[in-house]
Amino acid sequence: MGKKGFWIIAIGLHCLCFLMQVIGPTTLLQDSKEYLFAADNLLNAHQLYCWDLTDTINPDYLTKRPFLFPSILALIKFLSFGNFKLFVIFLLILQNLISLLNLKLMLKFVFHFTEKLNFKMVLILLILTPAQIIYANLIMSEIWLQLVIMLLLNYFLFYRDNAKWQFFAALLCIAGIALKPVFIFWVLLFPVFTIYYNRKALHLKLIGITLLPLVFFLFTLHWNEQRTGIRQYSSISTINLLHYNAYTLLIHEKGIHKADSIIDDISLRASQQSTYKQQQVFKDNAAKALIMANLGPYFYLHLRGALLCILDPGRFDITQFFNLRHSQNLLYESSKKNNSNALFNSFLNPLGFILIGLLVCNFIKLSIAIRFVFLKGISIANKFLLLVFPFYILMLTGPIGSSRFAMPIMPIYLGIILIALATKKKPINQ
């Protein structure tokens, strides 16, 4: 198979999933609904709030979803004249084009390190990564953050000496933060990396440019404090810490019924605090106390979550997108002790056999990716650039790792596998 054949099939697969969403009922995840509410509220009430404004106002929804993706949705809604089906068509066409662009950017850096490429293997890897095409056809921000990361990688690999790209990279970093709170720590990493890789031609203007994401972050903290009373970038950090990180730990240590009881008690006592700030601080402190009291088990669960991001065959993605029945949350089921039989039985169905096949393939993909670290002919600096984004995203995922959370770095991961499989060029030391 040649390059042309690969692109024909890749575009065809994207079009197939696109038509499923456009012709049939559009799949909406809980996050999708919140993004849509945020977009509607921006358009109609000029307020960033990701739930129904006619309900009792919950301060969590003021900051839960950063502004960029709701703003993109609001703009497309405006251009769609209020027609939801037309809105979905416009959005998904754009997201599918972004997904294909991300694959093109992946091939660009792969060709930088290899003499030739087996496009049949590229297609196999794409088919074995269904989340890539699924999330290109959902109302979710994953594919957009993926674009930010791919462009930033290209900046550090190819354009770091370009003055226009230096400013563009700072805007990309801001865009990443404005899409998902997981990108927050890049306000510190971006200046460090940019200054290091431009240390031979460092100037005051460049230093100032690298600080723009930090300025944006501090401004957002101040803005959120004015709206909620607490200097917090996003309420989702507290939500995740208590209802996912600490909750998963409690399920592992005490079982699901005791975990529910403890989390409910913390939530009840937090609601009795007089201000929203005190409520958030109470939840944060309670969750951190639980984690610190069980640091060893939590460390294990956190590392397991990072690994699951890569190994997860995507049961949630597939069942949600194709509207298939699913009765269990396997992430929580896997956190229960002595639950191997129940987990095994959940795969004894047609979809389960497909997922087992994907899981086996994911183990093989990971083993190939590990070989990349030991490849000769690629400089340590370039290996670091290809690994830093995957490592960053995976380490921040926490105990609830799944294929969805690895989506932003999936093209880099697939590119690393392709490089490990392909013939190498002469040593590149940039």
- Burial of 252-275, coded b for 16+ CB within 10 Å and e otherwise, reads bbeebeebeebbeebeeebeeeee
Residues 6+ apart with CB under 8 A from 141: 35, 68, 69, 179, 180
Question: Given pLDDT bands bounded at 50, 70 and 90, which one contains residue 301?
Answer: very high
Q: Write down the pLDDT at residue 427.
A: 45
On whether residue 74 sits in a domain, the answer given is yes
Taking only the tens place, the pLDDT of each residue in 82-100 is: 899 999 999 999 999 999 9
Average pLDDT, the chain: 92
Give the pLDDT band (50/70/90) at residue 348. low
Is residue 275 pLDDT above 60, yes or no?
A: yes
Residue 200 is assigned to a structural domain of this protein: no
| pLDDT for residue 115 | 78
In this predicted structure, what is the pLDDT of residue 350? Answer: 75
Determine the angle formed by the axes of helices 119-127 and 3-23, rounding to 10 degrees: 20
What does the pLDDT look like over 110-168, one tens digit per residue? 999 987 889 999 999 999 999 999 999 999 999 999 999 999 999 999 998 888 999 99
Structural domain contains residue 17 = yes
| pLDDT tens-digit map of 6-31 | 999 999 999 999 999 999 889 999 99
- Domain that includes residue 85, residue range: 1-140
Q: Who has greater pLDDT, 369 or 428?
A: 369
Q: What global pTM score does this model have?
A: 0.93
In a domain, 282, yes or no: no
Residue with tokens 């087992």: 356
pLDDT of residue 426: 47
- Is position 266 within any domain? no
Selected residue with higher pLDDT from 209 and 429: 209
pLDDT digits (tens, 9 = 90+) for 210-248: 999 999 999 999 999 999 999 999 999 999 999 999 999
Number of domains forming the structure of the chain: 1
357 in a structural domain: no
Helix, strand and coil content of the chain, in percent to the nearest 5, comes to 75, 0, 25
User: Residue 232: how many CA atoms within 13 Å on its side-chain side?
Assistant: 24
The residues that bridge with 428 in the sheet, in sequence order, are: 378
Residue 10's alpha-carbon distances to 5, 67, 110, 122, 125, in angstroms, are: 9, 31, 17, 10, 11
Measured distance CA(137)–CA(93) in Å, rounded: 8
Per the domain annotation, does 113 fall within a domain? yes
**Assigned domain for 49 exists:** yes
